[in-house]
Amino acid sequence: MNNSHLPSSLLTKRWLLPVVIALGIATAVAIVKSRPPMVHQEPDDSGVKVGVIPVRTYEVKPEVVGYGEVAPDVLLDLRAEVSGKVTYVHPQLRKGAVLPSGTLVLTIDAKDYQLALKQAEATLAQSQANLDELTLALEDARINLNLAREKMEISEKELQRNAALLKKGSISKSTYDSQRTALIQQQQEVQNLENQVKTLPVNIRVQDAQIQKSQAEVETQLRNLDRTNITLPFTARITALNTEENQYVSLGSSLFSAQTIDRVKVNAQFALDDFRLLANSFGEISIQEDSITWNGLPQSQSLFDQLALTASVRLVGVEDNIWPGKVEQISNNLDPSSRTIGATVAVADPYKNIKPGVKPPLVEGMYTEVHLRGKPVPYQVVPRSAVHEGQVYVVTSDNQLQRISLKGYVQGDMLLLENALAPELKVVTTDLFPAIDGMKLSPYDDTKTEQMIQQWVQ
C-alpha cells in the first residue's frame, strides 16, 4: 500500500506515538536515578510496647451483691375479736390506700355488748351489797359474842351462889336447877355466836371472790365494747379488704390486711464464694453466753454494729434510685439448692422523697439488688480486663513477659488479691497476642488505668 494516498492527519498520529513512548521511558529513568540510595535498617529488638501498672496494695471495702424481694416489716391480718353486724366502714378503706395511725376504719354493732355490760355491772353491785351485809353481820356477831360472854360470867357466878345457898338450905333444888339451865342456855348462845364469828369471814372471802368475778365480767364486756371500734395501730397501707357494711362477721373472721409503710425488709441471697470476701473483714468474732467479743475485746454494741456492715438497696435495672439499709440478720445456714447465704436488710422510710414515674416507693414484691460492704481490708487491685483465663501478664525486672496463674475475689470491674503478686512486678494492662513467656517487652506507664483504680478504691 502506498503511503502517499493516506490523509495527512493520520500520518501525523503515527509519528507521535513513538515520540510519546520515548519520552515516558526517559522520564522513568530520570526518576529512578534521582532517588536516594536505599539504607538497610537493623531490626528493633526493644520489644513489644505494652501499658503497665505497678503492683499496689489498697485499703478496699469488700462488697458483695445479692438479690431479694421486698417484704413488709409488719403485715397485719386484722380479725374480728367480737361477732356482730358491721355498721361502719371507712370510705377510704380500700386496697392500696394509705391511712394514718389511729383512724377508725370499722365499727361492729355494739348494742348486745352494751346490754351485757349493764348486766355485769348489776351483778357486781349485787355482789358488793352482799359483801357489805356480811361485813355488818360479822361486826354484830362479834359485839353480841362479847355481851353473851358477859352474861355467861354473871350466870356462872349466880349458879355458884345458888349452890352455896342450896347447901345451907336457903333455896330449893328447883331454883338451883333453873339457874343451871339458864347458864347452859347462855353457854349455847356464846357457842353459836363464836361459830358465826368463825364462819362469817369465810363467807366474806367467798363473796369477795364473787365480786372479783363480777369485776372481771364487767372488764370483759368493756373490752368487748371497745373491740367493736376497730382502729389502725400504725400508719398503714391496706393490702386486702374482706368485709362490707351491713355484713355479719363472726368471731375470728378476717376483716382486712395492712402493712407498715415506715419500714420494709429485704431478704437477699448472696453467693457463698462472694460472701467469703465480705467475711474477711469481720476479724475474729466470739459469741459467748453473756457477751460478744471482736478481735478478743469485749464489745457493748450489737454484732452487726461491730462488723461495721453497711448496706444499700436499689431496684434491679434502675441505677439512680438507692435506699440506705441496715443489716439485721445473717442466716446461720446455707440454702442447699442455690448454695447461697441469706441476709435480712431493713430500709427505713421507703416512701420518703418518692417521685411518681421516677422514684417509686419500695413496696412488697419488688425485686431488688442489695449491696453489703464491710470494713476496709488490704488487697492488691488488678483490673479484670488484665486477667486472661485466670492468668495475669506481668513484666519482670529485665522487661520480659511472665504469665502468672492466680485466684482472687471479683468485685465489680476489679480482681482483689491477697499478696499474690511480688511488689516489684508490673501488670500488663494492654491486649497482647501472642503472649509467650520470656518474650521481650517495652513497657510504658498506663497512668489512665492506674487513676481509674484509685478512683474505684475511693
State which H helix or E strand residue 395 sits in. strand 391-395
- CATH code for 262-375? 2.40.30
Residue extents of the structural domains in the chain = 50-57+378-457, 76-106+232-259, 112-227, 262-375
Q: Determine the pLDDT at residue 429.
A: 87
- CATH code for 76-106+232-259? 2.40.50.100
pLDDT, tens only, 19-46: 666 666 666 666 656 666 555 444 445 6
CATH domain 50-57+378-457 topology: 2.40.420
Angle (nearest 5°) at CA 100 between 258 and 351? 75
Q: Is 375 helix (H, G, I), strand (E, B) or coil?
A: coil
Would you call 16 exposed, middle or buried from its count of C-beta atoms within 10 A (0-12, 13-18, 19+)? Answer: exposed
Crossing angle of helices 173-227/111-168, nearest 10°? 170
pLDDT, tens only, 118-157: 999 999 999 999 999 999 988 988 898 899 888 888 888 8
Q: Determine the pLDDT at residue 42.
A: 47
Average confidence (pLDDT) per 10 residues, the chain, 458 residues: 49 57 66 58 66 88 89 91 94 92 94 94 93 90 88 86 83 84 88 88 91 94 94 91 93 93 90 77 55 49 67 84 86 80 89 80 89 86 88 87 86 85 87 84 88 87
Would you call 26 exposed, middle or buried from its count of C-beta atoms within 10 A (0-12, 13-18, 19+)? Answer: exposed
Give the C-alpha separation, 290 to 293, whole Å. 10
Give the C-alpha separation, 259 to 73, whole Å. 7
